[in-house]
Amino acid sequence: MIKDLSFICSILMLGGFLSCSAPSIPRPEGYFRIELPITDFKKTDGLCGYEFEIPVYSILEEAKSSQEDVCWYNVRFPSFNARLHCTDLMLDNNLDVLIKDAQELVFSHDHKANGIRRIRVVNERTDGGARGVLYHLEGPVATPIQFFVTDSTQHFLRGSLYFDNKPNPDSTAPVIARLISDVEHFMRTVTWE
């Protein structure tokens, strides 16, 4: 009888220990795999009076401008659900002001950004060498990539990348890494007439 009582107590204690675990909850296996398209570029021209190269997987969209000395357009990346908003301005002895404005727009995201990386870009193809800066804003920011490029005499081009969904740095990291190199290529190939 004592053997039966000890066996029953053992079963009850074992059952008690096993019942203390949390119920199992189905969880997803991870993020969706993002297929990055091939790295190839196409030349575009006629927009705002200058040429540049954009990725073959992107679409150029012209935006309306109410000002004569401003040209707006978007480079859309449908497979990434993102747009690069671009503004081309004519310089009028205001290069310092435009650079300062571009930097203020970048650093206005400083409170959300985990870090801001700068990449200096020089376009070797143009006379006088158009130069610019590409900013990578790390973390949950609305615009993870911003840039400006200028020929320092007549043109100033500024751009910002926006996703059409809430930023999630973990899931967009491979896309942002790809877009950084594609935007850098875009900046290096801008040729004003």
Structural domain containing residue 147: 41-192
Cα 190-192-193 angle, rounded to 5 deg: 145
Q: pLDDT, tens digit, for every residue of 17-66?
A: 666 556 666 666 665 667 888 889 999 876 788 889 999 999 999 887 66
Please tell me the pTM assigned to this model: 0.78
* DSSP category for residue 60: E
Which residue in 102, 119, 105 sits closest to 177, CA to CA?
119
Residue 108 inside a domain? The answer is yes
Residue 129 inside a domain? The answer is yes
Q: pLDDT, tens digit, for every residue of 94-152?
A: 999 999 999 999 998 877 888 899 999 988 765 656 899 999 999 888 899 999 999 98
Which residue in 178, 190, 185 sits closest to 77, CA to CA?
178
* Residue 30 vs residues 33, 78, 135: alpha-carbon distances, Å: 9, 23, 29
Residue 27 inside a domain? The answer is no
Residue 138: give its domain's CATH number: 3.40.1000
Residue 52 inside a domain? The answer is yes
Residue 70 inside a domain? The answer is yes
The domain tally of the chain equals 1
Residue 183 inside a domain? The answer is yes
Residue 19 inside a domain? The answer is no
C-alpha distance across the termini of the chain, in Å: 101
Residue 13 inside a domain? The answer is no
